[in-house]
């Protein structure tokens, strides 16, 4: 009676959620994007229990989202760093952050700005090849032959 597996549902979204779909994983990734690298720093900044953090970091490493680097420095022996795959979650985390700010208000003292200009970022959007912004009503879901499925509501 183990938890349902999402990686064999024939769905990319389910497959993604199988890796980072729990309560903590994306928060760990977000914190890593803020620059956090060490175990204790994740623990204190997130307020996560040590055994859970341990488990989440192991899973993220197993899934190639983070790497565990041995640094023989001071009392800190390991660092957890994002891989390219992990850094590529920036879009997901940013979309999630903006969604929350739009619908739940600004709960965050922190703001994300362009490193060059210092200006706020543009909203993350779905676009077609020409750069036109698309909503869920503007897209079709088709199978490999191009046959359309039912439409969104």
Partner DNA sequence: CAGAATGGTTGCATTAAGAAACTAAATAAG
Partner DNA sequence: CTTATTTAGTTTCTTAATGCAACCATTCTG
Nearest-CA neighbor of 59 among 86, 41, 95, 31?
86
Q: Tell me if 76 contacts DNA by CB under 7 A.
A: yes
Q: Tell me if 50 contacts a second copy by CB under 8 A.
A: no
Query: Quick one: which segment of 71-79, 113-121, 126-134, 135-143 binds DNA (CB under 7 A)?
Result: 71-79
DSSP-based three-state secondary structure for 80: strand
- The interface with a second copy within residues 87-126 (CB under 8 A) comprises 87-104, 106-122, 124-126
Q: Tell me if 75 contacts DNA by CB under 7 A.
A: yes
In the list DNA, a second copy, none, the entry touching 144 (Cβ below 5 to 8 angstroms by class) is a second copy
């Amino acid at each position: 009676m183990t938890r349902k597996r999402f990686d064999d549902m024939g769905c990319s979204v389910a497959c993604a959620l199988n890796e980072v779909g729990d309560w903590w994983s994306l928060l760990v990734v977000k914190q890593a994007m803020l620059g956090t690298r060490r175990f204790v720093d994740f623990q204190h900044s997130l307020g996560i229990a040590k055994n859970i953090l341990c488990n989440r970091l192991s899973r993220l490493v197993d899934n190639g989202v983070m790497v565990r680097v041995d640094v023989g420095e001071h009392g800190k022996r390991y660092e957890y760093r994002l891989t390219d795959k992990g850094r590529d979650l920036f879009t997901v985390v940013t979309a999630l952050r903006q969604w929350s700010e739009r619908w739940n208000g600004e709960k965050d003292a922190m703001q994300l700005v362009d490193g060059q200009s210092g200006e706020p970022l543009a909203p993350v959007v779905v676009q077609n090849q020409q750069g036109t912004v698309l909503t869920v009503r503007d897209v079709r879901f088709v199978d490999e032959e191009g046959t359309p499925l039912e439409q969104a509501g």
